[in-house]
């Protein structure tokens, strides 16, 4: 295992390695599940490999090696008789054990990392495991506390679009759980409180759907991250949240076959009735130039012309030189 891929603590890795001896399996598993509560959901891909490596959860090849894999009967019996082992075996290298583990999970999940683990299995390379993960998520997410789902969504929203093995039914089902009012309220709270991490990127991805439309006004004024406030202000004023959807070639000069690779964007209508002028009035008083600059980049196209000039006159004496120059350009 490459050193730069190690994201588990030494204590967690030692506990996983102790599973090989199985001296006190129940106690060791309980300690591991407590450690899982400290693992960020964003590390699910790398951690899955580490758990498999440290706990020696590798599939057993038959002889000859090209023959079909036989069901690991002893491990299946251990899984059936050992409480909590299902949360470890969902990382197993054997697809039979991953599938059996997912089928056995029936209660609400107790950590964001385990929520991420179940959703990650919906992108598994084995089709029966993906199916088991789908029904597992459908079964246990309604029983999982909304704050735990929201914490997992905070990391997964910006990653799961890149997963290629799961399909639209699986993606839609997970997004429906994200859209539950109690989950969106917790997600908005995280976006307001988080000072580190990729919360701006998460908000951009969340704006693909009307998950947070009802909370955008609150986010635009209360988030401690100025970039998050700016994104929310932009969405409220523009009324059309946008996101990068692909790339295309743009011609610079066809005579010389000169072109450049440019991003393309998609957008949707905002499901929100907040006054654009009220949002702009608050944004112009924001302490961060990142937020005030939104009025120059978006406001002049989305607000009435007289309102755009009104805000430009107010920004002529702004503390930020860049904003003063933009305001002067608008007024000219």
Q: Is the pLDDT of residue 51 over 60?
A: yes
pLDDT of res. 174: 94
Out of 3-12, 113-122, 180-189, pick the least confident: 3-12
Query: Quick one: which of 189, 184, 178 has its CA closest to 219?
Result: 189
Instruction: In whole angstroms, give the CA distance from residue 248 to residue 244.
Output: 11
Residue 263 CB contacts under 8 Å (≥ 6 apart), including other chains: 244, 246, 247
- Distance of alpha carbon 284 from its chain centroid, rounded? 30
SS3 content of the chain, % helix, strand, coil (to 5): 60, 5, 30
Give the whole-angstrom CA distance, residue 48 versus residue 182: 29
**1, pLDDT greater than 60:** no
pLDDT in tens, 70-98: 567 888 888 888 888 999 999 999 999 99
User: Token pair for residue 102?
Assistant: 């997912």
- pLDDT digits over 245-261, tens only? 888 999 888 888 888 99
- CA distances to 28, 30, 235, 266 from 240, rounded to whole Å, are 51, 47, 6, 9
- DSSP character for 59? P
8-state DSSP, 162: G
Distance (Å, rounded) from C-alpha 173 to C-alpha 171? 5
Please tell me which residue, 196 or 168, carries the higher pLDDT value.
168
Rounded mean pLDDT of the chain? 85
| Range 320-330 burial, b when 16+ CB lie within 10 A, else e | eeebeebbeeb
Angle between helical axes of 127-140 and 95-104 (0-180°, round to 10): 20
Q: What are phi and psi of 53, to 5 degrees?
A: -70, -50
Using DSSP, state whether 21 is helix, strand or coil: coil
**Residue 259, phi then psi, degrees to nearest 5:** -150, 165
- Domain extent listing, the chain: 1-155, 275-332
Structure tokens at 283: 């944004």
CA atoms of 136 and 244, how far apart (whole Å): 32
CB 130 within 8 A of CB 173: no
Is 236 within 8 Å of 217 (Cβ atoms)?
yes
């Amino acid at each position: 295992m490459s050193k730069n891929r190690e994201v588990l603590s030494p204590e967690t890795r030692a506990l996983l390695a102790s599973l090989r001896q199985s001296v006190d399996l129940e106690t060791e598993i309980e300690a591991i599940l407590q450690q899982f509560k400290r693992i960020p959901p964003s590390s699910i891909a790398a951690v899955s490999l580490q758990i498999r490596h440290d706990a020696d959860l590798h599939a057993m090849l038959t002889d000859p090696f090209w023959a079909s894999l036989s069901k690991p009967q002893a491990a299946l019996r251990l899984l059936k008789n050992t409480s909590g082992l299902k949360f470890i075996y969902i990382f197993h290298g054997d697809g039979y054990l991953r599938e059996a583990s997912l089928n056995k999970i029936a209660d609400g999940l107790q950590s964001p990392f385990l929520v991420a683990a179940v959703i990650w299995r919906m992108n598994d390379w084995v089709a029966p495991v993906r199916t088991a993960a789908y029904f597992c998520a459908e079964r246990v997410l309604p029983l999982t506390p909304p704050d735990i789902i929201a914490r997992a969504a905070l990391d997964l929203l910006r990653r799961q679009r890149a997963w290629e093995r799961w399909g639209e039914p699986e993606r839609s089902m997970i997004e429906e759980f994200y859209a539950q009012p109690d989950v969106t309220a917790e997600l908005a709270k995280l976006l307001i409180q988080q000072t580190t991490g990729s919360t701006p990127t998460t908000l951009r991805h969340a704006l693909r759907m009307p998950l947070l439309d009802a909370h955008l006004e609150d986010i635009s004024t209360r988030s401690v991250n100025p970039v998050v406030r700016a994104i929310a202000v932009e969405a409220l004023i523009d009324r059309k949240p946008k996101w990068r959807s692909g790339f295309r070639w743009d011609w610079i000069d066809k005579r010389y076959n000169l072109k450049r690779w440019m991003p393309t964007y998609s957008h949707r209508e905002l499901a929100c009735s907040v006054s654009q002028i009220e949002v702009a009035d608050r944004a112009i008083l924001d302490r961060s130039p990142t937020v005030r600059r939104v009025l120059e980049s978006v406001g002049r196209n989305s607000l009435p012309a007289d309102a755009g000039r009104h805000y430009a006159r107010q920004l002529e004496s702004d503390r930020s030189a860049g904003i003063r120059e933009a305001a002067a350009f608008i007024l000219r």
